[in-house]
Structure 1
Amino acid sequence: MNIEHLVTMANQIGTFFDSYPDREEASTEIANHLKRYWAPRMRNQLFEHIDHEQGAGLSPLVLVAIAAHRGEKPSPPPPGGDAG
């Protein structure tokens, strides 16, 4: 998949969770969304972009979320589904 498209999609997820008043919760939910719904190949491309291009084009919140939660397993979805 095209990295520009992945960056755009990651930033859209970040924009949604940016409305959360708790920054830690927003960061966790961004990471959980990427882990739950993105194929490993997509996440790996995004990680390579961060490692080689310093995440050019990614929002600061998305970069923080990925850096903080990159190696963790996602939390289970909340009852009734995921808001993201």
Structure 2
Amino acid sequence: MDIRNLIDMANRIGDFFESMPDHEEALTGVAEHIRRSWEPRMRRALLASLDEAPDAHGLALTAFTREAIVRYREKLTPAAAAPAAHAPL
């Protein structure tokens, strides 16, 4: 997964919503768009990049996008996958 691409996409989403007059609604819009549109692997990779070295990939999240992701991190975190059922021996 190309983290640079994910960060760039997240920033573009943030840029779109940041123009909204209601700051809280804009933050929610960023998080909801990412939650609904990105597959769990993408969201996990983006969140992991925040935990590692957030600016190490040569492209940083904008302050607004970072605020949205940090504030709604719990909602953006994919649920743990259920263990696969094994066939009886």
TM-score normalised to structure 1 length: 0.81
Q: Look up the match of 1:25.
A: 25
Distance 1:72 1:11 in 2: 18
The CA distance in 1 between the partners of 2:26 and 2:35, in whole Å, is 14
CA distance in 2, matches of 1:11, 1:3: 12
Partner SS for 1:58: coil
Name the CA distance, whole Å, in 2 between partners of 1:52 and 1:11.
18
Give ranges in structure 2 of 5+ residues lacking alignment.
Answer: 77-89
Identity, in percent, stands at 43
1:66: which partner in 2? Answer: 69
Structure 1 position 4 matched with structure 2 position 7: no
Displacement of 1:2? 0.4
**1:31 & 1:38 partners in 2: Cα distance?**
10
RMSD: 1.1
Displacement over 6 Å in runs of 4+? none
> What does residue 82 of structure 1 align with?
none
Q: Which runs of 5+ in 1 are unaligned?
A: 74-84
Alignment partner, residue 37 of structure 2: 37
> Residue by residue, what CA displacement relative to the aligned partner does 1:54-74 show, whole Å, maximum 9, x if unpaired?
3x210111111011111127x
What is the distance in 1 between the residues matched to 2:49 and 2:34? 15
